[in-house]
C-alpha cells in the first residue's frame, strides 16, 4: 500500500521564478493538506483541499496556490519565489473528519537562490 508520494524530492530555483510541487495521497484518503517547514520550526499550515476545493487556508500570501484533482492528487504552486520560501514542503493526506491523523509524504526540499 503506497503511502503519500511527493515530487520532486529536491529543487533549486532562482528568486522570482515559479515552482509546482506534486502530491499523491495515500490510498483511501480524500483530503490533502500542505505544510511549510523551516529549519528548527514545526510545520506551518498552508492550505487544505477536499472535494477539489480549498477548504481552509493558513497565513500564507496569494503567491501560494493549489489544486486538487478528481483522483485526490494535489499540486502546490508558488509564484514570484523569495529567498524566504526556502523550506521543506510537506504534503499530508487523511480521511475527512476531525479525528484522523495525517500521513505525511517525505517532502520536497526547495532552495531559492
Partner 1 sequence: RKEVEQDPGPFNVPEGATVAFNCTYSNSASQSFFWYRQDCRKEPKLLMSVYSSGNEDGRFTAQLNRASQYISLLIRDSKLSDSATYLCVVNGGGSNYKLTFGKGTLLTVNP
Measured from the Cβ of residue 100, the count of other Cβ atoms closer than 10 Å reads 12
DSSP-derived pairing of the beta strands 10-13 and 108-112? parallel
Pattern 59-98, partner 1, x by CB under 8 A = -------------------------------x-x-----x
Strand, coil or helix: what is 83? Answer: helix
The CB-of-16 to partner 1 minimum distance in angstroms stands at 27
Q: End-to-end CA distance of the chain, in Å?
A: 37
Binders of partner 1 in range 6-45 (CB under 8 A): 31, 33, 35, 40-45
Please report, as ranges, the residues that interact with partner 1 according to CB under 8 A. 31, 33, 35, 40-45, 48, 50, 55-56, 58, 90, 92, 98-107
Amino acid at each position: 500500500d503506497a503511502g503519500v508520494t511527493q515530487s520532486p524530492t529536491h529543487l533549486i530555483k532562482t528568486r522570482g521564478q515559479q515552482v509546482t510541487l506534486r502530491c499523491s495521497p495515500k490510498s483511501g484518503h480524500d483530503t490533502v493538506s500542505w505544510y511549510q517547514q523551516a529549519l528548527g520550526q514545526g510545520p506551518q499550515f498552508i492550505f487544505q483541499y477536499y472535494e477539489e476545493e480549498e477548504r481552509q487556508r493558513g497565513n500564507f500570501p496569494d503567491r501560494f496556490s493549489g489544486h486538487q484533482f478528481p483522483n485526490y492528487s494535489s499540486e502546490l504552486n508558488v509564484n514570484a519565489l523569495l529567498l524566504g520560501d526556502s523550506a521543506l514542503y510537506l504534503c499530508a493526506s487523511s480521511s475527512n473528519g476531525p479525528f484522523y491523523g495525517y500521513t505525511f509524504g517525505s517532502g520536497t526540499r526547495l532552495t531559492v537562490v
